[in-house]
Amino acid sequence: MASDDMTYTGYDQLIEQAYPVDPTLYENNSFYTGAEASTSYTQPYPQQLDNANDAPTSSDPNPFKCYTCGKSYKRQCDLDKHMNNHTKRRKCPIKDCDGGGAETKDLHRHLWAKHSDYAREKNIPRVEQPCGWPGCDYHGRTDNLKRHRDNHNHWPMQWS
């Protein structure tokens, strides 16, 4: 093994064992130059590659595939974030509910969306913000709330 290669250890080995990599994904792949087609591979440091910021060469527009659920992504970082849904899952405390999320905020959003009485009773913080328009009960994420508030501009009442 060359001195400029980095071997994955620890957490990454656990991920590889839990989610085996399809060896054919790395064959003829310029991003993983020098890597052998196996579930145990080495990867050059990204800053040493000419194409470190490019996606792997592939005819598939989303070459990074989750082997747990089948979703695929354009970038490795998006797949890594998605994998948290499988490895770092916060489970819903409600019996017979498979909901939850990768992060606490995802679990909170699920609880308010599906089990609002429980969320209210347990004082779970809302991920969503209130609209603030008089008489409007809408709550939403920041990006959706801005779009929602734009609709109020067409109503006769003005913001206070």
Instruction: List, for residues 138-147, the tens digit of each pLDDT value.
Output: 888 777 888 8
List the end-to-end C-alpha distance of the chain, in Å, as a whole number: 67
Alpha carbons within 13 A on the beta-carbon side of 80: 5
Last residue of one domain, picked from the residues 30, 54, 87? 87
Residue 93 counted as domain residue: no
Tokens 């994904």 sit on residue = 25
| Shared-domain flag, residues 68 and 110 | no
- Least Cα distance to 65 among 86, 50, 43, 80 occurs for 80
Tokens 């620890």 sit on residue = 10
Q: Are 90 and 103 in contact (CB under 8 A)?
A: yes
| Shared-domain flag, residues 68 and 134 | no
Residue 140 counted as domain residue: yes
Residue 13 counted as domain residue: yes
| Shared-domain flag, residues 61 and 131 | no
pLDDT of residue 90: 86
Question: For residue 130, what are the domain limits?
Answer: 98-152
- Strands 5-7 and 42-44, bridge-based pairing: antiparallel
CA angle 90, 72, 86 (to 5 degrees): 20
Q: Is the dihedral of CA 55, 57, 60, 64 positive or negative?
A: negative
pLDDT of residue 47: 41
Residue numbers of the chain with a pLDDT score lower than 50: 1-8, 26, 29-55, 160
**Rounded-to-integer distance, Cα 74 and Cα 64, Å:** 6
**Rounded-to-integer distance, Cα 111 and Cα 92, Å:** 7
What is the enclosing helix (H) or strand (E) of 145? helix 142-152
* Residue 36 region by backbone torsions, left for phi larger than 0, else alpha for psi between -120 and 50, else beta: beta
